[in-house]
Structure 1
Amino acid sequence: MNSEVFRAILSAHIQSNASELIGRRFTVQMDNDPKDTVKATKEFFKEIKRNVMQWPNQSPDLNPIEHEFHLVKTKLKGKCPKNKQELKTVAVEAWQSITRDETQRLVMSMRSRLQAVIDCKGIATKY
C-alpha cells in the first residue's frame, strides 16, 4: 500500500469509525511506516485537524492493528485455501467477522498497553 491508497482509506473511514468506537476527540497513532511519515500524509492530518502521536518505530506491542491481524489469523486457523482467490475470500470473511466489541476492546486496552511498555522500559511486553 502506498501513501495515496492509505490516505484514501483514512478519508473514507477514520472520522466515522473512530468517532463510533472512541468518540469525537481522539489522537491518531501510527507506527512510522514510510506511508505514515511522508509529507502528503502529514498534511492530510493537518487538514482534517487530527493530532498524530509521536511513536517509537517498530512497536507492535502498541499497535492495535497488529492485534486485529492476530484476530484474523485466529479466525483463519484450520482453513486451507487452494488458490489466491480462495485465500482472498477467507481473509475478507475473517476480517469482516471481527466484531465492533472486539475492536473496541483493543482500542480501550491502549492505556494498559502503554503502561506495560513504560514499565518494561520499551522492551517487548506479553501483549
Structure 2
Amino acid sequence: MNNTDAIISLGKKAKAAATPLATVDSTVKNQALLAVAAGLLAGEERILAINREEVAHAKAKGLKSSFCERLTLNPQRIRGMVDGMREIARLEDPVGSVEKMWRRPNGLQIGQMRVPLGVVAIIYEARPNVTVDAAA
C-alpha cells in the first residue's frame, strides 16, 4: 500500500468513527482526554526512547538541526502535552450550545448550534506534540 492509499484508508476509518463519536457526552470525552494524558505519563520512558531513535535517524540522514530540534521530545515537552490535554478536559464542551437564535418574519425560529467538526487531516513534520494537540 502506498502513502496515498494508506492516508485514504485512515481517513475512511476516521470518518466511520466520527459519527458515533459525535454523540458521546462530555464526561466520556473528558475521560478519554485524561486517559491519553495518563498514558503519556505512563509511557514517557518508552516514548522518549523511541524519540531518541527517531532523532538519531534524522541526524544520520543529514536533516537540518532545526528539524531535529522540532522532532525532539523531552520530559518538559511531554509534560506540556499532558497539561494541554488536562486543560482541554477542564473546558466547557461547546458541542450542542446555541450561539444565536432568531425568529423569521414567518415565525420560523433559527439558531446556530455548535456541532462536532468531523474529520480533519493535518499535514505536519517533526512536531510530535502536534498529534496530541490536534487530537485534543
TM range (shorter): under 0.3
TM-score of the superposed pair, with normalisation by structure 2: 0.26
Relative to its length, the structure with more strand (as a share) is 2
